[in-house]
Structure 1
Amino acid sequence: MGAEAATPPAVLLVPFPAQGHVTPMLRLARALAAHGVAVTVAVPDFIHRRIAGTTAGSDDDGVALASIASGVADCGADPPGFAEFGHAMEHHMPAHLERLLARRRVACVVVDVLASWAVPVAERCGVPAAGFWPAMLASYRVVAAIPELMEEGLISESGTPCSWASFLSFRT
């Protein structure tokens, strides 16, 4: 009997359908793929149509894209409004994500916290879910700067600005 090749772990990522969320999720996907993880990013159909075939949607980096039917009419150049895709995420997309998870063997679903509708879907499918917050790095950088801001006299120990003039002149 020959040794069978180990199947890489598979992860499904579900971003919130906005550029400031899809782009960081694609970066996370590429980082995971670079470490041998089989990654699929599940995006609504109106996003998929815009990025499939572009550098962002290329399989060259080991990241696959999956289109989830949203039920939202594509209005050409302008993406659907928040109310439209918010309704789609809550009422239309869960059944399609559930079917996608039923067809794939996935070790984990990574969900943008603004796409939290996907967490109960993963739970129903018996797949662990982890939250992803694209603004976390920016939040971390602000928190990490607190000691320096205090040292420069820009904020007090309670976090209030000491003076707006010194705060506005702070060098980054």
Structure 2
Amino acid sequence: MSGNSAAKPHAVLVPFPAQGHLIPMMQLGRLLHDRGFFVTFVNTEFNQKRLLRSRGLEWVQSFEDFQFETITEGLPPSDGDATQDPATLCKSIRKNCLPVFRDLLAKLVSNVELPRISCIVSDGIMSFAIDAGEEFGIPVVQFWTASACGFMGYLKFHELIKRRIIPFKDENFVKDGSLDKKINWIPGMRNMRLKDMPSFVRTSDIDNIMLNYLGDEAQNCLKASAIIINSFSDLERDVLDAITLLCPPIYVVGPLNLLSRSISKGQASEFRPSLWREDRSCLEWLDKQEENFVIYVNYGRITLISEQHVEEFAWGLAHSTHPFLWIVRPDIAMGESAVLPQEFFEETKDRCLLTSWCSQEEVLSHPSVVVFLSHCGWNSTLESLSAGVPMLCWPFFAE
């Protein structure tokens, strides 16, 4: 800690333990740090180990007045780089994280060498931090890392249940037209159908963990001192205006990936907390390609798809005749490793690069990239908009 750190405001940041939530929280933390905050970034033990493997101990320890702490989410040990099942993770967070975070806060508060904690910034689906903050008299700001429309959708989960629209009576809802039901009573969201709501409404189980967890967490955000949303008003003005009438003070701060480029000291990319080791050689490959001609394919950090879908996408890319950069995570195929046929590689050998992970913002900013085939995660959407790259959309889950 530097000599003048004691006088700094101190923010404790608590991201949801998934790559798509870590990145915007780190971008926000970097912006706070650049504007004079001492930052404590709270990872789960599992993700901190992954971060150490991908970025190294030197990276973790290299930022003055920016420290990492850990809590456990309570899950048993698993494969070091495996994606944790979202439902299991949410259930464990709800059960285990409040007491361990309370203990961490007590440790930070009692450490006289640290600046006094000014606020907690917690992910919008980590609301246990609100309860802990109340116990210590520390204001808590909830950071909603996804879209404002998604937030409003989750806020209405309880109402959908109350009106007996969900859960469905059986699994036939996929085929019987139930998802086409118009939902015309959600403020700021016109012409909505049930299938336009976050995908966790698609259940026949009233006890579905994701339906209940996300609905409860969105409601809990309303108890916070303020809410930060990673969006911008020109994109979601109507729903943001509607949320403002329901909620504590709302601060719209996105796209954070663009704001983080304004950081005065060093490169914003240095703060990108990748849980996978990034392949930098793909940028050299892009340098050799024709301008505005390469298809970039990435289905995000937690998407799991069938081996059949992997193969269908592969042949679609092969038949496009375009060169393509395809990010294929080791764990992308459900219950198995993705194995592509030899004929695919023979067909595409001079115009295909497959790799396990990359620096997406740098790829999208590369002049050779013409289109982005995406699962439509919010970070990917904002990064593609920011880079001016058109998207081919294959929505996977959530909002």
Q: Which TM-score band (shorter chain)?
A: 0.7 to 0.9
- Tell me, yes or no, if structure 1 residue 75 matches structure 2 residue 78: yes
User: Any gaps of 5 or more consecutive residues in structure 1?
Assistant: 146-170
Larger deviation, residues 31-40 vs 62-71: 62-71
Contact 2:74–2:93 under 8 Å retained in 1: no
The alignment yields a C-alpha RMSD, in angstroms, of 2.6
* Separation of aligned partners in 2, 1:137 and 1:70: 25
Give the one of 110, 123, 141 matched to 1:112.
123
Q: TM-score, normalised by structure 1?
A: 0.73
How far apart are residue 143 of structure 1 and its match? 2.3
1:61 CA drift (Å): 3.2
1:125–1:88: structure 2 CA closer, same or farther, 3 Å change rule?
farther
Aligned to 2:137: 126
Deviation at 1:87, TM superposition (A): 2.2
Structure 1 residue 28 displacement after superposition? 0.9
1:15-40 Cα deviation digits (max 9, x unpaired): 11111111110111111111221101
Describe how 1:14-33 pairs up with structure 2 within 5 A. 14-33=14-33
Q: Which residue of 1 aligns with 2:257?
A: none
C-alpha contact (below 8 Å) 1:16/1:114 kept by paired residues: yes
> Post-superposition shift, 1:144?
5.4
CA contact (8 A) 1:11 1:107 kept: yes
CA distance in 1, matches of 2:7, 2:121: 19
Q: Partner of 1:75: helix, strand, or coil? A: coil
Runs of 4+ in structure 1 deviating by more than 6 angstroms, as ranges, are none
* CA distance in structure 1 between the aligned counterparts of 2:62 and 2:31, rounded to whole angstroms: 13
Please say if residues 74 and 80 of structure 1, whose CA atoms lie closer than 8 Å, have aligned partners that are also in contact: no
CA contact (8 A) 1:94 1:118 kept: yes
Q: Report the alpha carbon displacement of residue 58 of structure 1 after superposing the two structures with TM.
A: 2.3
Deviations 1:47-71 (A, max 9, x none): 1111136279623234211110222
Task: Give the SS at the match of 1:26.
Answer: helix
Aligned match for 1:60, one of 47, 59, 62: 62
Structure possessing the higher relative contact order (Cα contacts under 8 Å, 6 or more residues apart): 1
Relative to structure 1, is the Cα distance of residues 140 and 74 closer, same or farther in structure 2, using a 3 angstrom cutoff? Answer: farther
Percent of pairs identical after alignment? 26
TM-score, scaled relative to structure 2: 0.33
Structure 1 pair 139–31 and aligned structure 2 pair: CA distance change class (3 A): closer
Contact 1:109–1:130 (8 Å) recurs in 2: yes
- Matched to 1:29, the amino acid is G
What corresponds to 1:157 in structure 2? none
